[in-house]
Structure 1
Amino acid sequence: MGSRDYSMAKRGNGTKPSRSLVALARQTQQARINCSQHFPKHVFRDAAWDIMLELFIVAEEGRNMCVKETMAVSGESATSTLRRIEGLEEARLVARRYDPIDHRRVIVELSENGRQAMIAFLVHLFEAGEAASEQGGTTKPVSFIPMANNRQRGLGEME
């Protein structure tokens, strides 16, 4: 199976991904940025996914991200970014809260459901990449269904 460096270590009541999952999130983020060099920006652009990747990275680095920073990551207008955040919040993937130091700022962060979905996806991505390497790059596409993975692991429903 190779040396899988994505094993999970405990952190409080949740799990903390290894550095390799954060590195994989960064690689995924960079690949999305690189797409804009080769394709029209609107074709492969999904601001919600860009926001989720950035929120995962900053959370694992122990940092926070405010709504204004989220707008910069999304590359969209303030109104469109707020719509994306609201959609992610309705999906229970992110949460907003006031900054305890500066109550004018609103912090956006992954919810536990969002964090677990990102971990599951990145592990899946890591395993798919590893399988492709082991088979000389000739693997069939594998689907990813986060709700099924969460039920199997007993993480609860993401409604």
Structure 2
Amino acid sequence: MTDRDLLPRLLDGTWSPYELTLIDVPADVTTEQLDELALVLGTTGFDEPLLNRLGDSRVWFSGHDDCYVLLETRDPALPAAVLARLLTLLAGSALAGLAEASLSNVPEPGLWLPEQLIATAPHWIGTLAGVTEDLVAIKLAALPEPWRLNVSFPRQAHLTATLDVRHGTWRITG
């Protein structure tokens, strides 16, 4: 794709984050550079930084369904924005399971929430702790390294992010 502005249209409605990998490349990327990119992707370890091997690329996103998201970026605002959206999607999915819940608008947390999480630890795992039509609670635990399929949620959460549905506000409690 050569125009970054077309990305939302590409992802609108027909694509899902199941095994989705996105890397931005310059509009004038050559076939040889794309071959090199494929080689770099295929030989980079899961926990190795990738962007420093890709020249001008600013974003590498890798996601697998709703299990994990790996994001490397040169844009300091993007990680908090993605984490805020992920928390919103988890809350919205939980609310969608309630027949009586209204899903007209599930608010994203303010950037203060994901920024606080990222400042505390670079790797987080979250799981739904409870849902009613008024509240959605998400247990969050900091991990010492990126999450893997064989890593279960720790015995105790470090924090809980809670969406107050009626007021449209989020809070973190420890």
Q: Given the two structures, how large is their TM-score scaled by the length of structure 2?
A: 0.30
Relative to its length, the structure with more strand (as a share) is 2
Larger gyration radius, structure 1 or structure 2: 2
Relative to its length, the structure with more helix (as a share) is 1
